[in-house]
Structure 1
Amino acid sequence: MGAAIAGGRWNHPRTPAVYMGLSPAICSLETFVHTNGEPVEGMKITEFELPEDRGLYLDLENELLPPGWNSIPYDRPSMDFGTRWLQSRSHLGLIVPSAILPLERNMVINPFHPEARLIKVLEVYDFTFDPRMFERQGTPQ
């Protein structure tokens, strides 16, 4: 759990959290941004089955997001909010907009929530970026 070591937008270091995108498209975009646009070999996209009970998830509406939640780099308000949420163990998942593309949604999973044990891996897919993503603008293909 890299987020437990370095922290992330929604958690402080030493506070375990699992980040996931709610679509393969946002997963690939988030990975592209967080790998500094460098090709990465051997990537995988994992499809999970999550418990269906909607009460297990806190879906933050825009008006409930902490100020500066989408700042780059991420900042204390979102880290404080998420860390408090994780420590409360009130929900299995926190659904938030992507700071990269707010029309897309990400989920922070609380690995210490009692229902986390019900999460199942359905499928693991090999994934590679299209090489055109690494070409400079204006460079012929």
Structure 2
Amino acid sequence: MGTIRVWRICRREYKDSAFSGEGAKLYGGRFNSEGLAAVYTSGSLSLSLLEMLVQTNDRSYLRHCVVFQADVPEFLVDSPAMTDLPEEWNQIPYGHASQDFGDDWLSSNKSLALKIPSVVIPIEYNYVLNPNHPDYSNLQIEEKGQAGVDQRLFT
């Protein structure tokens, strides 16, 4: 049985709740509506950073970020084909089509993770984790320390 390593970067002050799904529950995201918990992760650390960078013009918070990794058993990952994603899954800003798709997946509890293409780099993948899945508590999450981002990103 193989695993998929996923990465998450968050501000230091949120590190204790980085895998709770509460932020996405409060504000919603591309693949979840407000009220549904989800944890957004990426298939690489660099993609996780890029996903953060496209969300803001203020990069100063990167000086205070923490990196996490987790290994998800492959058999607990749902990998829909591109043709199964809603037509407007990559709309900017995101809309109801992708949220409805994610909401249905989250509510079904059929898998721990949903593998989806990144809008930033569509040949790489993000993984939405379902914190309400029965196997979620078995995830091995490891804090890797401060992000250590190159200072050139701040200029």
TM-score range, shorter chain: 0.7 to 0.9
Q: TM-score, normalised by structure 1?
A: 0.87
In 2: Cα distance, 1:32 partner to 1:24 partner: 13
The answer to whether the 8 A contact 2:59-2:153 is kept is no
Deviates more, 1:11-20 or 1:34-43: 34-43
Deviates more, 1:122-131 or 1:75-84: 122-131
Q: Which runs of 5+ in 1 are unaligned?
A: 136-141
- 2:119 aligned residue: 99
- 1:2 aligned residue: 23
- 2:84 aligned residue: 64
Q: TM-score, normalised by structure 2?
A: 0.80
- 1:33 aligned residue: 54
* Alignment length (residue pairs): 133
- Counterpart residue type for residue 5 of structure 1: L
- 1:120 aligned residue: 140
In 2: Cα distance, 1:8 partner to 1:34 partner: 11
Q: CA deviation at 1:131?
A: 2.6
- 1:19 aligned residue: 40
Rg comparison, structure with higher value: 1
- Counterpart residue type for residue 59 of structure 2: E
- Counterpart residue type for residue 35 of structure 2: R
Give identity over the alignment, percent.
Answer: 35
The answer to whether the 8 A contact 1:39-1:129 is kept is no
Task: Determine helix, strand or coil for the equivalent of 1:114.
Answer: coil
- 1:138 aligned residue: none
Q: CA deviation at 1:18?
A: 0.6
